[in-house]
Amino acid sequence: MSTDKKSANKILNCVLIALIILTIFFLQYIFRSADDNRLTSWEWAFARVDLTWFVVVLSLGMVAAYIISRSHFFQRMPATLLFLFAFVISMLFWREPELLVDTSRYFTQAKHLELYGVQYFFQEWGKGIFAWTDLPLVSFLYGLVFTLLGESRLFIQIFTTVLFALTCVLVYFTGKKLWDEETGFLAGILLLAMPYLFSQIPQMLIDVPTMFFLALSIFTFLKAMEKGGNWVYFSSIAIFSTIFSKYSTWIMLSVLPVIWLVSMVQQIQRSAVSSQKSEYKIPHPPFTKEEQREILQTPNSKLRTQVIFYRGISVLFITGIFAAIVISLKFDVIVQQLKLLQEYQAPGLDRWGESFISTFLFQVHPIITIAALYAVYEAFRKRDLKFVIISWLMLLIVILQIRRSRYVFVTFPMLSLMAAYGLQRIKTAELRRFIAFGAVFSALIVAIVAYLPFLQNMSVVNISDAGMFLNSVHAEEIRVFTIPSDETIVNLAVTVPMLDLFTVGKISYRDDSKFSPPTEEIRESPLRFTWEFQNPGYYGGDGKSSSRSVPVVVISNGHITTVPDDVAATLKGYRKNKVFDTSDDLFGFNPFVTVYLPEK
């Protein structure tokens, strides 16, 4: 076949792929009512999107994907460029407000460390520091960021974005370790083809750091099984970090025994093949070319299964010692949290869940899901044991019926590896890369054009806008009042730490509201923690200031017509300066913020 004809066929294939990606979007758009995601549902996000303009932008995105897929730019320094690409893309979403009230917990915990130090943090975590069902590591890291760099949301966003970009790099190295560089690179790129992730990266939550530590645990454990030495210690640290990031990862760490078992089985296979290496012919699969060379060049003494067994025991022992120390010091707190998870969180997931259709066909680009499903067949056909490692977590998601995107997305790095494995069936490297970059640009455009404007117009933006306004008037001290109403489903006390995250001034606040929903209603509410939230002592407790020049902030759930007498007395001599009342009309929680400044 002539060179011109080959080029024409490549272009035609890319055009067909682009048309398929456009068709996938139209199908998603037509059936968007099937997306029941509680935060970024397509039915909500596309309600005000100009479809014609979106298709034009998406078509341009396919052109950009084609250009990048044909260049050798990423082949020079794949890990470095993958990190920079992921970081720069994620920066576009730093304009999001804090979307979930859970932010109040992590900010409060981190600020305790900033103000009172590390020793106080660990002594009071779960006691004087309200911990709900949180584990301490991520809040501890946020507290260190505040201590070392300053109490600014920007530094938190830089930190979480770095961890996400490093997760993409870890996925690359994991794929390279298990198969080859191309699989790893495609997997790292495909992690960017999940629009839901972009809504989470800028948030002061624990999920993105948890995803990083889980991916780090998997990679370092693989290296520990292969190399031993210092990797045993690195692996132990990574697993310890994962254990104390989030309770849900404890079940996810079951992937480590899978890695251990697969590594030993493969070592047995290698030893069997090595004993017959005089034939100089090793079946492929299950081994890559590099593994075949290793088998032929390595003496049998270095292929002992016992070595891997003892490496696994070493990691387990070291991790277990340090984890046991922490658990013993906080045993009562952890037992109470586990009991709460069992009695409240587990049953609640059935009520608060989202469909797999939503998660894997809308919040993840469908090409990833299709490629991952095909990968199952391909791995079974090849009898590739290593595929069990990357598919284990997705199998758990299905078996345990974990249906909340926020709890599922920590496993997305493994899903991207499955998809990359499936794409290897396509023989042309440029076509594989075009599919991957096409999915990325499609997901990115969805996130920028639909998700981002939608999220920026949610009611919670009132808190961030009010904080930035207070900074603009150079408020060094701020008095805050919260006024609940009968429709309040969230204890408004948790909005105070959220406001604090966006302000430079010192907040003075007293929560003396007697309003509370019925106990039974609170017990089953997904926002139950807000009613059990303990107001931090560093806000002063009296809500008063000797100065009459201090701005006063009133936070309410929706508009209010009257204010309590004590608030009215405080507002004498003040004028209403600014009202932040953006409303999405989708959620029962609509925090409106009114700022009062002294009359001149």
What confidence tens digit (pLDDT) does each residue in 570-589 have? 899 899 999 999 988 888 88
> What residue segments make up the domains of the chain, in order of their start?
3-101+152-455, 461-598
Whether the Cβ atoms of residue 421 and residue 379 lie closer than 8 Å to each other: yes
How far apart are alpha carbons 356 and 358 in whole angstroms? Answer: 5
Which of the residue ranges 63-77, 278-292, 512-526 has the most confident prediction, judged by mean pLDDT? 63-77
What is the secondary structure of 166-186 as a DSSP string? Answer: HHHHHHHHHHHHHT-HHHHHH
Residues 6+ apart with CB under 8 A from 38: 352, 354, 404
Report pLDDT for 575: 92
pLDDT at 292 over 90: no
Residue 598 burial by Cβ neighbours in a 10 Å radius (0-12, 13-18, 19+) = middle
> pLDDT tens-digit profile of 213-248?
999 999 999 999 999 999 999 999 999 999 999 999
pLDDT at 1 over 90: no
Length of the chain (residues):
600
Whether the Cβ atoms of residue 247 and residue 133 lie closer than 8 Å to each other: yes
Mean predicted confidence (pLDDT) in 459-478: 94
pLDDT at 146 over 50: yes
Report pLDDT for 139: 97
